[in-house]
Amino acid sequence: MRMSSAMGTASWPQVTANSSETSSCTIAWQLRKRVHQASQRRVQLEFTSAGQQLRLQRRHDEADEMAASAQRVECSNMTSIDDIPIELRGKDANASDKKWRSALFTSVLDPPVTEALPPAMPVQRTTWRPTNIKDLFQPGIWDRMDAWFQNNALDLQWMRTHGAGCSRPHKQRPLVKAQSDMVPEARGTVWDLRRASEGHIEPRDFTAPIKSDLNLEFLKPLLSTCPDRELVSHIMGGVDYKVDLPLQTVLLPHLYSLAHAVGSC
């Protein structure tokens, strides 16, 4: 357990070895309880710190939520293993066996110490702006891709009509296109096609903030002391596969599992 300087109030117990009064099992339990309490206090401090930062940004509603979360973290005051419900710890008919007095608790693994990943690649620069996806590809190549898209749509309609487990006569094979299949102006660039239906196609901006289901602003202070900086980079900036591969266009058919929920498509 790593303890920050703000954890000065989390002191370790003063335990004296007296075989006539205290077993080694009891000592280990008391130590584990102290570690648990210290961990809870740290969570309280992190919630409080996050709330203070939000309040400085005048985001008072979110700051109030952080303060309320800090109050909901209660430091455990367990004094005995008997306080753990039997439903959670299981049957302990052999708990009186003296061998358990010297059994060690499972070690808590420390996270690896890693370096943060380098920043995302800079914005790709090109003045060429296509208005349709087919403008990216050589004429003959696009004809084949367009046929693939049409048959892929037929595959979806077939699954909607015939349900899960049906044969799929229109199921397409994966289609891969290289940079040489694109027009010269489109090569060497990763294109953002999310607004292609609006006629808006531009180079993908890898430096833009990511959209995540996680509350990244809340996690940022919590992870500020995490030694696994590479993991933090993945969370805060998006997953980086750390590979440098040739650019390709890859089209894949629908998964078989889609047939179970095709009505939602």
Tell whether 183 and 71 lie within a shared domain: no
Structural domain for 204, as ranges: 133-264
Per-residue pLDDT at 159 exceeds 70: yes
Tell whether 150 and 36 lie within a shared domain: no
Res 207: pLDDT: 86
For residue range 87-130, what is the model confidence (pLDDT) as tens digits? 665 555 555 667 766 766 667 778 899 999 998 877 778 889 99
The verdict on residue 115 lying in a domain is no
- Specify the number of domains making up the chain: 2
The verdict on residue 137 lying in a domain is yes
Tell whether 68 and 140 lie within a shared domain: no
Tell whether 45 and 168 lie within a shared domain: no
For the purposes of burial, counting CB atoms within 10 Å of the CB of 66, is it exposed (0-12), middle (13-18) or buried (19 or more)?
buried
Tell whether 71 and 142 lie within a shared domain: no
| Residue where a domain terminates, one of 79, 102, 125 | 102
The verdict on residue 54 lying in a domain is yes
| Residue where a domain terminates, one of 102, 120, 142 | 102
Per-residue pLDDT at 5 exceeds 50: no
What does the alpha-carbon distance between residue 186 and residue 35 come to, in Å, rounded to a whole number? 57
pTM over 0.75? The answer is no
Res 27: pLDDT: 65
The verdict on residue 127 lying in a domain is no
Residue with the larger pLDDT of the pair 226 and 71? 226
Per-residue pLDDT at 36 exceeds 80: no
Tell whether 67 and 154 lie within a shared domain: no
| Residue where a domain terminates, one of 61, 85, 102 | 102
Tell whether 137 and 58 lie within a shared domain: no
Tell whether 97 and 187 lie within a shared domain: no
Return left, alpha or beta for 154; rule: phi > 0 is left, psi -120 to 50 is alpha, else beta: alpha
The verdict on residue 128 lying in a domain is no
Tell whether 144 and 245 lie within a shared domain: yes
Give the chain's length: 265
What does the alpha-carbon distance between residue 80 and residue 82 come to, in Å, rounded to a whole number? 5
